[in-house]
Amino acid sequence: MLYDAFRPLLFSLDPEQAHHAGTGALNAALAAAPARALARAVYDVRHPALATEAFGIRFPNPVGLAAGFDKSGASFNALGALGFGSVEIGTVTALGQPGNPAPRLFRLPPDGALLNRMGFNNPGAEAVAARLRRTRIEPVLGINLGKSKATPLEEAAGDYLRSLELLEAFAAYLVVNVSSPNTPGLRQLQDAAPLRALLHALRARGAELAAARGGLPRPILLKIAPDLTDAQVEEAVGIAREEGMAGIIATNTTVSRDGLRTPAAEVERMGMGGISGAPVRRRALEVVARIRRTTGGALPIIGVGGIFSADDAWRMVRAGASLVQVWTGFIYQGPSIARDINRGLLARLRAEGAAHLSDVVGMDVR
């Protein structure tokens, strides 16, 4: 593949520099609508067996791009042209913030992983809303919301509500991110009492905004960490159901360093942060399967963590995910990853004699 030839050059750069170079080139190449149409002709895989309905939205295929790649909503149309069934931007915070000091993004090639402590660097909800207001949104767009670092934990609900008010009109769905390890104290919002209060406030305000415009509320999903215990997963999912969340995204990055192939001394030099990619794969599958068993399929799941191939996506779907997302796999596999996964999923459906991907969702936990 062409990307295989360019990857050593990109990987010779600092990871954050490589990200900016890559997105800059992508935005330049696909700035015009005809160029994006041509890219879609190359990368899109459209087939009735892959089109997926979840939380009231029709996704043209089940492979989405996770939050974290396009933090400021500057590239989602270009990214969507690469065959993704959805693009999730953010994490966006109410206040613009620079994030943590660099270096803050690292590769672990022996593990097929990244380590990041970006710290929700983004221009803020008002700036993102202004950009979305002047842009024709082409893909199914998710918007991931987080807490501003400067906002005290006890004022978190108001911070999230401000972002919701500014951004919900542009989103197909919204995500409540309380699971990043890179904002101090954020994961405490996964505890039962603050989580319930936050989700209740967001759902209520979303319903008010929908009523004011005469439409339906935007679906709100909860994104959880892989580092929760099984009991904590079940508690968080139970609260999400009770508070009317439309789905769960499982999972975010992990703070665990267990089982890494990268030398421990090298990982230690990288410092704090969340690890994504292949090391999260097993736990993400476990969490998805547990949610599926706990809810009996009543709450749609987007499975994230270590998805590099159609085999990885197939296992996630069979564990209970209606949709999947990639991020680290995109970095390692390149721009054809959505097309390659979708083609592989179609081949597996044919081999199984299944008519639609929904036929195999949760098959391994039924």
Confirm or deny that 223 is annotated as ligand binding: yes
Q: Which one is catalytic: 180, 322, 336, 358?
A: 180
* 303 labelled binding-site residue: no
Please tell me whether 277 is known to bind a ligand: yes
Q: Which residues contact 182 (CB under 8 A, 6 or more apart)?
A: 100, 116, 117, 118, 119, 120, 272, 273, 274
Check whether 67 is labelled as a binding-site residue: yes
Q: How far apart are CA 18 and CA 22, in angstroms?
A: 6
Question: Is 295 annotated to bind ligand?
Answer: no
Strand pairing category for 274-277 and 113-116 = antiparallel
Whether residue 22 is annotated as binding a ligand: the answer is: no
Do the annotations mark residue 70 as ligand-binding? yes
Region label for 334, one of left (φ > 0), alpha (ψ between -120 and 50) or beta (otherwise): left
Is residue 180 annotated as a catalytic residue, yes or no?
Answer: yes
The b/e string for 320-336 (b: 16+ C-beta within 10 A; e otherwise) is bbbbbbbbbbbbbbbbb
The answer to whether 120 is annotated as binding is yes
Nearest to 275 by CA among 303, 256, 288, 259: 256
d(CA 85, CA 313): 14
Does 100 count as an annotated binding residue? no
Residue 216 is classified by DSSP as P
Q: Give the distance, in angstroms, between the CA of residue 259 and the centroid of all CA atoms in the same chain.
A: 24
149 a known binding residue?
no
340 among annotated binding-site residues:
no
Residues 164 and 193: their CA atoms lie apart, in Å, by 21
Burial of 307 (0-12, 13-18, 19+ CB in 10 A): buried
Q: Annotation-wise, does 52 bind a ligand?
A: no
Residue 177 labelled as part of a binding site: yes
Cite the annotated binding site for substrate by residue number: 71, 116-120, 177, 182, 252-253
Cite the annotated binding site for FMN by residue number: 67-71, 91, 144, 177, 223, 251, 277, 306
Catalytic site positions:
180
